[in-house]
Amino acid sequence: MQWEWASSSIEAEADVPDRALVIVPTYNECENIRRLIATVLVQDARIDILVVDDGSPDGTGTLMDEIVAQNDRVHVIHRARKLGLGTAYIAGFRWALERDYAVVLEMDADFSHDPVHLPQFLLAIEDADMVLGSRYQQGRVTVVNWPIARLILSYCANVYARAVTGLPVWDATGGFKCFRRSVLEAIDLDRVRSNGYAFQIEMSFRAWKRNFRIAEIPIVFVDRTEGTSKMSNSIVREAVWMVWRLRWWSLRGTI
Ligand SMILES: Nc1nc2c(ncn2[C@@H]2O[C@H](COP(=O)(O)OP(=O)(O)O)[C@@H](O)[C@H]2O)c(=O)[nH]1
Ligand SMILES: [Mg+2]
């Protein structure tokens, strides 16, 4: 009995992540990125940050080179042109897996994802394999300042994604999330197909199908005040079809 207690307490200690990487994809975020990085880094000393910039015409990439030169907790990947959110995250995941980060987080550059939630993610991941920041926890909407049409689209997209794929989460399309390294190692990143908001559904779906433990924490999502949204109709169309493909691959056991 004594031994069991001792071994489980050692196991619990081992689950506290020691290094975490926050990945932030950017396209034209020069008004936000410097302040975002500063606000992220003060949240927890274990956190480093990796920005994946897609050749932003507004000079975000040049600004990043300056910041990286001043702070060894900050890193950047430059890609030649706008190649999409999904492949930006995949590039970031690979970068993290080549290093010793125990935990990897995703977040947007535009302050819609408030960095004050980061310590809550790091706490929640101690007892989960993946943590999702949820705007619709228990059906309660915690979104501020979004146009009503955008909110309805997002809410309905979540109901639809849950109905088609069976993924048992409140917010499947959100982009504020946290993975244990083991989840990213278990998912074959070469086979992830989505590139827009469907990317978020696909990653969570693949983790769920591998029986990883998913937790959700409520977050307050605030619409951006600086810069503009890169949301497009083709991103919505991709998500509409992708959930059916996920279901199909899952039925055939090829996911
Ligand atoms: N690297 C990269 N980042 C992108 C791309 N599209 C969007 N982003 C970034 O992804 C995050 C979310 O995009 P955003 O336009 O705010 O989407 P919205 O919040 O859904 O309107 C922001 O940090 C964007 O700068 C892309 O093609 N490549
Ligand atoms: Mg945004």
pLDDT band at 137 (very low <50, low <70, confident <90, very high): very high
The residue nearest atom 21 of ligand 1, judged by CA position, is 229
DSSP codes joined into one string, 192-221: ----STHHHHHHHHHHHHTT--EEEEE--E
Say how far residue 50 (Cα) sits from the centre of its chain.
12
Q: Do 170 and 218 contact (CB within 8 A), yes or no?
A: no
Q: Tokens 């590039």 correspond to what residue?
A: 91
Tokens of 217: 């924490």
**From the alpha carbon of 79, which atom of ligand 1 is closest?**
1
From ligand 2's centre to the CA of 89, what distance in Å?
Answer: 15
Q: Is residue 136 part of a domain?
A: yes
**Cross-strand bridge partners of residue 131:** 178, 215
Q: Is residue 4 part of a domain?
A: no
Q: Is residue 3 part of a domain?
A: no
Return phi, psi of residue 174, to 5°: -65, 155
* Ligand 1-lining residues (CB < 6 angstroms): 25-27, 29, 52-54, 82-85, 88, 108-110, 112, 224, 229-231
pLDDT tens digits, one per residue of 53-71: 999 999 999 999 999 999 9
Number of structural domains the chain divides into: 1
Identify the three-state secondary structure at position 174: coil
Range of the domain at 110: 17-251
Residue 140 has pLDDT above 80, yes or no: yes
Average pLDDT on 28-48 reads 98
Q: Is residue 12 part of a domain?
A: no
Model pLDDT, residue 15: 83
Q: Is residue 217 part of a domain?
A: yes
pLDDT tens digits, one per residue of 107-122: 999 999 999 999 999 9
* Pairwise CA distance, residues 64 & 59, whole Å: 9
CATH label of the domain that carries residue 170: 3.90.550.10
Q: Characterize 145-170 residue by residue with b for buried, 16 or more Cβ atoms within 10 angstroms of its Cβ, and e for exposed.
A: ebeeeebeebbebbeebbebbebebb
Average pLDDT on 171-198 reads 96
Q: What is the dihedral of CA 111, 112, 115, 121, to 10 degrees?
A: -160
pTM to 2 decimals?
0.94
Q: Is residue 7 part of a domain?
A: no
Residue 9 has pLDDT above 60, yes or no: no
Q: Is residue 11 part of a domain?
A: no
From ligand 2's centre to the CA of 227, what distance in Å?
Answer: 9
Q: Do 17 and 103 contact (CB within 8 A), yes or no?
A: yes
Model pLDDT, residue 17: 87
Q: Is residue 9 part of a domain?
A: no
Residue 5 has pLDDT above 50, yes or no: no
